[in-house]
Amino acid sequence: LKFTGRARIFESQDTSVEAILADKVVSGDVVVIRYEGPRGGPGMQEMLYPTSYLKSKGLGKECALLTDGRFSGGTSGLSIGHASPEAAEGGAIGLVEEGDTIEIDIPNRTINLKISDADLMTRRKKMDAKGKSAWKPVQRERHVSPALRAYAAMSTSAAFGAVRNVEQIERK
């Protein structure tokens, strides 16, 4: 299975659902939901709603979904989760821009953002230059409890189990 499509960028599951339900996501789109990983969420919300709504709109086989969040066994369609490193950790998913072309090649286990390495480096430098506001979702209203803030500060990458590790705080 191979899929090539146009990136649609969402900084939360909620904004992706709003766009899907408002018919702003169309056939051929790659829905990119970022800042839903262990640190960015924090806590890795399940991405069942976006996949369910894509399916209900007849787009289940016409779109792909890429996220640093997680899925359960109820997900269908081309859905790629647990992208690591996540956007909040400086992962490439945080550098994808609206309209970028993304190629997904399941047999070869690759996901390619079709921009040059130089452009990717320019985007990374621009993001890093934002200082404390770098690698954070833009305009997302979400109450995060003190317990989840502590989890986010200590969490490891989803690639390593998204477990708490106090050394994560000590390295900052």
Q: Which residues are catalytic?
A: 72
Closest CA to 68 of 31, 104, 100: 31
* Inter-residue contact 81 to 71 (CB < 8 Å): yes
Position of tokens 């979702």? 137
SS3 of the chain: CEEEEEEEEECCHHHHHHHHHCCCCCCCEEEEECCCCCCCCCCCCECHHHHHHHHHCCCCCCCEEEECCECCCCCCCEEECCCCCCHHHCCHHHHCCCCCEEEEECCCCEEEECCCHHHHHHHHHHHHCCHHHCCCCCCCCCCCCHHHHHHHHHECCHHHCCCECCHHHHCC
